[in-house]
A = this chain, B = another copy of it.
Amino acid sequence: MSRKRNAHRSPDMPTLADVARLAGVSEITASRVVRAQGPIADATRTRVLNAIAELGYIPNRAAGSLASAGSTLMSVLLPSLSNIVFPDVLRGIHTALTQTAFQPVIGVTDYDPLVEERILVSFLAWQPAAIILAGLHHTPTARRHLEHGRFRVAELMDIDGDPVDIAVGMSHRQAGYDTGRHLIQRGYRRFGYAGHSVVFDDRATARYEGLCTSLREAGLSLVAEHRHPGPSSTMAGRDSLEILLATEPGLDVVVFPNDDMAMGGIFHCMHVGITVKQQLGIFGFNGLDIGQAMSMPLSTILSKRFLIGKTAAEKLLESRERPEEKTIINTGYEIIEGATA
């Protein structure tokens, strides 16, 4: 019989046809039970469910996806997993998807738009229901694919720009600006900035620019800045502050692109005996748990990473069709006064 092709399959992996036969219904009815779709008599449903349990049937999603020209996959493209920000976003996404049929498929771009484009294309091959990426900045090819596809798109983290479909995040430029205003108001005047390689993280750059703008408006400017070559880390923050202070000892506050580096800055101060806040203010970004667990909690800005991921995933599930109107959701942020600046 027509089992000749089955040689390459697992021994007797049951199919929907097997389930249907055992339950004494047609394939399509069994299919409807599996998908909980369309009207099914209770008795029928029970028979099919029993057959499924008895055979240990597992639906073949590749076949389903092919037949229905769609899947329950949600592609998630993140710049990095080292930066705790993105695991937090991912948790939010996961939380929103937990009770649904959707599954996240993740890819990591290393902050490289070309890598993002490559991974995007390989994800499109699975006909995902939705795509989540970070930022509003993509290659022209990637943007074209995003615009023309039959799937929802959410661009996370930043909202300063023109999204393809949905943007969820906050204004990083504004956050940087507010950082400057906040610190100026608290009396700081001689600003330093200890960042990391600019090829990483557009958002950090936007905050930096916002900071500079606020300083300029107040008739100030950055007295000194140092950029650690390579990605951000606590050690990078510690080293950067040391270098910064060696070249410019008269700073009264240093802004870091994130809490990890700011923590490193605090460790440097502790090491060389600088009184944080009195002698030197330290300001971070993200509002990580660890910074708030210090007896002297870190002054920083709380970004709502989990909320961003969760909101985006929920919004994407609202409708399969892309609406006419683009959606921009501002999850905002909060300045945490803390005790370090």
Contacts and interface: CB of A to CB of B under 8 A. Distances in A.
Interface in A147-183: 148-150
Interface stretch (A25-33, A218-226, A291-299): A291-299
A61 B290 contact: no
Interface stretch (A123-131, A202-210, A247-255, A322-330): A123-131
Given A103-B107, A289-B234, A293-B234, A149 B10 contact: yes
A114 interface: no
B293 A263 contact: yes
Interface stretch (A42-50, A81-89, A189-197, A277-285): A81-89
Contacts of A71: 62
Interface string A134-157: 000000000000001110000000
A106 interface: yes
A40 interface: no
B289 A270 contact: no
Contacts of A335: none
Contacts of A260: 290
A127 B60 contact: yes
A8 B69 contact: yes
Nearest to A108: B94
A289 B105 contact: no
Contact of A293 (B62, B126, B264, B295): B264
Given A69-B9, A233-B289, A270-B295, A58 B103 contact: no
A94 B80 CA distance: 10
A263 B123 CA distance: 39
Contacts of A66: 60, 62-63, 66
A104 interface: yes
25 contacts: A10-B150, A58-B121, A58-B124, A59-B125, A62-B127, A81-B88, A81-B90, A82-B87, A82-B88, A84-B87, A87-B87, A90-B106, A104-B106, A105-B105, A105-B106, A106-B106, A234-B290, A234-B293, A235-B292, A235-B293, A237-B293, A238-B293, A263-B290, A270-B294, A290-B290
Given A61-B126, A62-B65, 13 more contacts: A10-B149, A61-B62, A62-B127, A66-B66, A81-B90, A81-B94, A82-B87, A84-B87, A86-B87, A103-B122, A103-B123, A234-B293, A267-B294
